[in-house]
Amino acid sequence: MGDKTNDTSRRNVLRVVGGAVGTAGVSGLASAKPSDELEVNVGFSTPAGRRAAEQAATDVKRTFAFDALTMTAPAEALKGLRKNPNVRYVEENGTMEALAQSTPWGVDRVDAEVAHASGEQGTGADVAILDSGIDSDHPDLQSNLGAGKAFVDCGTGGFTGSCAFYGNGNACNEPWDDDNDHGTHCAGIASAADNSQGVVGVSTDNTLHAVKVLDCAGSGSFSDIAAGVEYTADQGWDVGSMSLGGSSSSQVLKDACQYAVDNGVFLVAAAGNSGPCTDCVGYPAAYDTVMAVSSTNSSDGLSEFSSQGPEIEIAAPGSNINSTVPGGYAEKSGTSMACPHVAGAAGQLAADGYTNTEIRSRLKNTAEDIGLAENESGAGLLDAAAALGLDSSDST
């Protein structure tokens, strides 16, 4: 999604899409006509379950390493497949979207500049931004860009089938380029270069990898996102940053997150922008394999839009954060902006040799108590310098 000033209509569009996703996994299969072709994610527990799925399929679109696949099949065939004891789940392949933002300052507040001054730049660590892509020629990001991979086509998406409505239809110099601006904004927060122009990130020398799982409208299917998570793990990258989510869980995405963590990836996700609320953390942030991040404002209060709940592990700045967008810079707000603050700090720890489980513990154990409730900020506010063992005395 884009900033609040010009994206009212876009936000409404995405909420319609997200709402449809929330019910599709449950009611979509049940209400379909027997002859309707549906795209679903199928998880199986045995080779017999896999064979049953493949036999029911009219087309297998994607196969995962964690005993699941994405396929199309008639609704009637899927009813039988759901009853098969060798099949763990059959879910319609819904979508998640980039979480809302309005307008970024947080590098100083999390004491990242203390880390920079001490030589902690994050050099050698790999941070995957699972989002709408990264602008391939942004001057603040080019020096830190590594490999990229697209799981959705650049230049397509939305109700019109193209990106013309969203304004970035000509942004596709690379398949993984950003045709929305959300991914580029998150990438800059995590690791914009210290190059005397624009902005700097929490890290300034992590290698950023664009894993494009959201289209120009900011929407991506469960399967596309799961494939991006799986790909991140298979590359051996250190951090996966997910400023995306939805209100409905997806078993295929949950499986992918478990697969990634089992293969050494530290996963972090935006908690969601459903606030004010008391128990509304979205997915994938709500999975126990993922660190859920809430958002704070410049007064150390909880951002009014930030989701809350027992899954929150840490808070980070998310209101009015200035960062990179294709063609320049912009201020945006959302837990989407809080998430890459944590990803950048995680990248610095990974560069110093910490494992994914050690990173998670270290970030929580060194967080600053800012007086918020546990379901609002978890362990407290991210402190990048303290996590790296540096003197962190900035309390404003």
* Cα separation of the two ends of the chain: 30
Strands 87-92 and 328-332: unpaired
* CA-to-CA separations, 151 to 97, 228, 240, 374, in angstroms, rounded: 14, 7, 15, 36
Within 10 angstroms of residue 389's Cβ, the number of other Cβ atoms is 12
What residues have CB less than 8 Å from 141, skipping those under 6 apart?
Answer: 134, 135, 184, 187, 188, 191, 192, 193, 208, 324
Chain centroid offset of residue 178 CA: 14
Q: What tokens does 126 get?
A: 């790999």
Dihedral sign for Cα 333, 366, 256, 209, please: positive
240, two tokens? 């996966």
Is 274 known to be catalytic?
A: no
| CA distance to 175, 246, 351, per residue, from 167 (Å) | 17, 24, 37
**Catalytic site residue from 182, 185, 209, 341:** 182
Q: Does the annotation count 336 as an active-site position? A: yes
Contact criterion met (CB below 8 Å) for 336 and 243? yes
Q: How far apart are CA 189 and CA 184, in angstroms?
A: 9
* Beta carbons of 267 and 290 less than 8 angstroms apart: yes
Q: Which amino acid is at 185?
A: H
Question: For helices 356-365 and 335-351, what crossing angle results, to 10°?
Answer: 120
User: Helix or strand or coil: residue 272?
Assistant: coil
Using DSSP bridges, classify how beta strands 68-74 and 87-92 pair: parallel, antiparallel or unpaired: unpaired
Residue among 219, 241, 336, 377 flagged as catalytic? 336
Q: Which amino acid is at 318?
A: G
Which residue among 3, 7, 126, 131 is the active-site one? Answer: 131
Helix (H) or strand (E) holding 293: strand 291-296
Instruction: Just list the catalytic residues.
Output: 131, 182, 336
